[in-house]
Amino acid sequence: MNTLPPNEHDEQSEDHFDHERLGIEFVVEDVDFELADAEELTSWIERIAKVHEHEIVHLTYIFCSDEYLHKVNVEYLDHDTYTDVITFDNADDADIIEGDIFISVERIRENAQTHGVTFRDELHRVMIHGVLHLLGYADKDLLSQTAMRKKEDDCLSLRTF
């Protein structure tokens, strides 16, 4: 997990938040995308956090293009690769979630086709993948990747919509 400079996509400074509960927000940058089921997704993500004994203070999902996410990857992580999701943990306390999750809508579409799943299921998997990182789960080696995939499946099974 990495730390992004104070919310560049947000006009307020990090100091302004001061752990004020702002919840979950969804932002779209440079891509034609509309999120379906935002209220249901919010409830589901909050349930996952609660099961893990975490409170969501401020979580922002930024849905973007491949190029936008590639630029973030190069600029902040020094990785010159395309990816589907990048998570930045901005929390100071271990039991809260405060962060930004960038998701390439184009990469989700391609992954869904490649894996033979619906766009909706792949999107939800990647959305919860970012949350799992904020909860402390890693996926750097094969063993942790397998555990992460199982945890994603467990979380997806808790959807009620």
Residue 107: CB partners within 8 Å, gap ≥ 6? 66, 69, 82, 83, 84
Strands (E) located in 9-132: 23-28, 55-64, 85-89, 96-104
139 annotated as belonging to a binding site for a ligand: yes
- How many CB atoms are located within 10 Å of the residue 136 CB? 11
93 annotated as a binding-site residue:
no
Q: Is 32 annotated as a binding residue?
A: no
Is the distance from CB of 39 to CB of 47 less than 8 angstroms?
no
Other CB atoms within 10 Å distance of the CB of residue 9: 13
Binding site feature residues: 129, 133, 139
Binding residues for Zn(2+): 129, 133, 139
